[in-house]
Amino acid sequence: MYFNQIDQAESQEEALETLAELQQFMYEDMPVMNVGHYSTIDATNDRVEGYEMLSGPILWNVQLAD
Whole-number pLDDT of residue 34:
65
Q: Which pLDDT tens digit goes with each residue over 42-51?
A: 888 999 999 8
Whole-number pLDDT of residue 43:
84
Q: What's the CA gap between 62 and 57, in Å, rounded?
A: 12
Q: Is residue 1 part of a domain?
A: yes
- Convert the chain into a string of H (helix), E (strand) and C (coil): CHHHHHHCCCCHHHHHHHHHHHHHHHHHHCCCCCCCCCCCCCCCCCCCCCCCCCCCCCCCCCCCCC
Q: Is residue 56 part of a domain?
A: no
Q: Is residue 4 part of a domain?
A: yes
Q: Is residue 64 part of a domain?
A: no
Question: To the nearest whole percent, how much of the chain has pLDDT over 90?
Answer: 36
Q: Which pLDDT tens digit goes with each residue over 8-43?
A: 999 999 999 999 999 998 888 877 766 666 677 788
Domain count, the chain: 1
What is the pTM (predicted TM-score) of this model? 0.46
- Its domain, for residue 20, covers 1-30
Whole-number pLDDT of residue 16:
94
